[in-house]
Amino acid sequence: MPRADGPHAADDALARVRALRSRPGRDATGQHYVEGLRQVLAALDADLGVDLLLYCETLAPTIAQRRVRLARRAGVPVVRVTPEQFRRLSIATRASGVGAIVRQHWSAMREADPAAGLCWIAVGASRSPGNLGTLLRTAEAASVAGVVVLEPDTDPFDAAVVRASMGGIFGLRLVRAGHDQLAAWAARHGCGVIGASPRAALRYTEAAVRQPVIVLFGEERGGLTERELRLCTQVVGIPMAGRADSLNLGVAAGIVLFDLLRRRSST
C-alpha cells in the first residue's frame, strides 16, 4: 500500500481508481470508487470504510475542505490531485473535486434481520445502472433495510449505480444471494415474498402489509423471471390508468414501497 503523502501518491491513487472502473477491478479489491460531494459525505457519514480520499482543492467546494481535513485527522489517507487528473477520472458532467475509494459493504444472507426497517427488497437483472441507482435511492428513502442482489451480473457498486443512488446505497445493507439461498432465508423467517410485476392482477395496495416481507423487483422490460416468480408468495402490479404499459423501475418501486410505508404507519 503506497503512502498517501509519498512522491508517487497521486499516480498510485489514480491507478487504483482507474482499476475500480471495471467489474473485475472492483471484485479483486472489494472496493469501489465514489465521486461527488454528496456521495462522498454519505460514505464518510455511514462509516463503512473509506480507504482513501481523492481531493482537488481547485475544484472542490469549500464545504468539502473541512470534511476532508476531519477525515485525514481520523486517519483516512488523503491524496491531492490536479483538476486535470480529477477530470480524467470523472464520470460527472461537472467534476466535483472529491472522490473516495470505499470498501464494498456486503453482508451475509444469514445475518440479514428480516424485521429491520420497512422491509427488504430483492433485485434481479437490471438493464440500466441509472434505474438501479434510483431504485436504491428510493428504497433507502422509504427506510428499506437492505437489498438482496440475485443476479451475479448485477453490480450495485458500479459507479453509475452509486451515483444515481445519491448516497442511498450507504444507508442500505447489501446481500448477494442465489434464489435458493433467498428462498431458504425467507422460509426460515416466515418472510413473505411480494413480486412486483406489470402483468399482475392483484393491486399493490392489496399486498400483504404485515412484516416480515421482502419485495422483489424484476428486470425493467422483461419483468420477473420464472425462477423469481417461484420465490413469490404474492405477485402484485400497479394498474395503469393511461395508455402506458409500464413505469420506470424506480417510479414503480417508489409507488409500491411508499404505499407499504403508508399502510404500515397507519396500522
Task: Quote the least distance from Cβ 48 to its own copies, whole Å.
Answer: 13
The residue (of 77 and 171) whose beta carbon lies closer to its own copies is: 171
C-beta of 181: minimal distance to its own copies in Å? 26
Q: Given its phi and psi angles, is residue 75 left (phi above 0), alpha (psi -120 to 50 degrees) or beta? A: left
CA atoms of 230 and 248, how far apart (whole Å)? 24
**Minimum separation from the CB atom of position 240 to its own copies (A):** 5
Which is closer to its own copies, CB of 20 or CB of 175?
Answer: 175
Which is nearer to its own copies, 7 or 242 (by Cβ)?
242
99 vs 146, beta carbon nearer its own copies: 146
Q: Which is nearer to its own copies, 181 or 248 (CB)?
A: 248
Shortest separation between residue 198's beta carbon and its own copies, angstroms: 10
CA 67 to chain centre: 23
Across the beta sheet with 213-217, what order do the strands follow?
A: 106-107, 173-176, 146-149, 120-123, 213-217, 192-196, 234-237, 202-203
Cβ neighbours for 221, distance < 8 A, ≥ 6 positions apart: 127, 246
Min. distance of Cβ 231 from its own copies in angstroms? 25
Sign of the Cα torsion 80, 54, 29, 76 reads positive
Provide the 8-state DSSP code for 48. Answer: S
Smaller CB separation from its own copies, 9 or 215: 215
Location of C-alpha cell 402506458: 244
Which residue type sits at 159?
A
Q: Which three cell numbers stand for residue 54?
A: 481523492
Minimum distance from residue 87 beta carbon to its own copies (Å)? 21
What are the residues binding its own copies (CB under 8 A)?
42, 45, 118, 130, 134, 137-138, 140-144, 166-168, 171, 205, 238, 240-244, 246-248, 250-255, 258-259, 261-262
